[in-house]
Structure 1
C-alpha cells in the first residue's frame, strides 16, 4: 500500500525547531549509516538524508556535520512555541564550513 504523504526535502537552512525535535526523538543517540537514505534530486545529484514523518508529511532531512552537532546539542528549552516553525530559530553550530560547490 502506497502512503499519500507529502514529501519534503529539508536542508539545514530550512530546518525548523519542530523538525529538529522530531529528529532528536527518532534518533536520540544520533543517526548512523543505517539510517541514511540516498537518492537523486531533480538535478540528478546524489543526496543523503534521514527521514522523519508526521501524520501528513515525510521529511527527508539532508545529513551534514551541522545537523549532527545541532541534534547532539538539542535542548527543547532553546526554542519557544512561537518559533517552532521558524527555520531562522535554528542557528548553525560553530563547525568548520562544509565544502559546497553550489555557493
Structure 2
C-alpha cells in the first residue's frame, strides 16, 4: 500500500444472536473488563429507532455489534469458559519439572 492511502473497511452490523465464537473472542479481547458508555456507538436505523452498538475491528472489517444485556452475559460466559479451557490445558511448573526428569 502506498504512503498516504487509507484502507476502506467493510462495515457490518451484527445482532447478538448471530455472534460466533470468533466474534465473542474479539469482543472479550477488546473489552476484557466489559465496555463502558464511552465505547457505545449510537445511530438511528431505517425505522428511526435508536440502536446502540460496540465496535470491533479486524484487518478488513469494522463490526458494529448491537448492545443488549444478553451480549454482556454472553461475553462473561465466553470469557469464563475460555479461562476454564486454558487452565485445563496448561501444565503447571511442578508438572513440567516431573515430566522433564522422566
Q: Residue 30 in 1 paired to residue 34 in 2? A: yes
TM-score (norm 1): 0.68
In proportion to residue count, which structure has more helix?
A: 2
The alpha carbon displacement at 1:4 in A equals: 0.9
Alignment root-mean-square deviation, CA: 1.6
List gaps (5 residues or longer) in structure 2.
86-102
Partner residue in 2 for 1:45: 49
Picking from 7, 28, 53, the partner of 2:11 is 7
Q: Which runs of 4+ in 1 moved over 3 A?
A: none
Q: Tell me, in whole angstroms, the C-alpha distance in 1 between the residues paired with 2:22 and 2:46.
A: 26
In the TM superposition, what whole-angstrom CA distance separates every residue of 1:51-92 from its partner, at most 9, and x where no partner exists?
000011100000001100111121345xxxxxxxxxxxxxxx
Q: Which has the higher contact order (CA 8 A, sep 6+)?
A: 1
Number of paired residues? 77
The alpha carbon displacement at 1:49 in A equals: 0.3
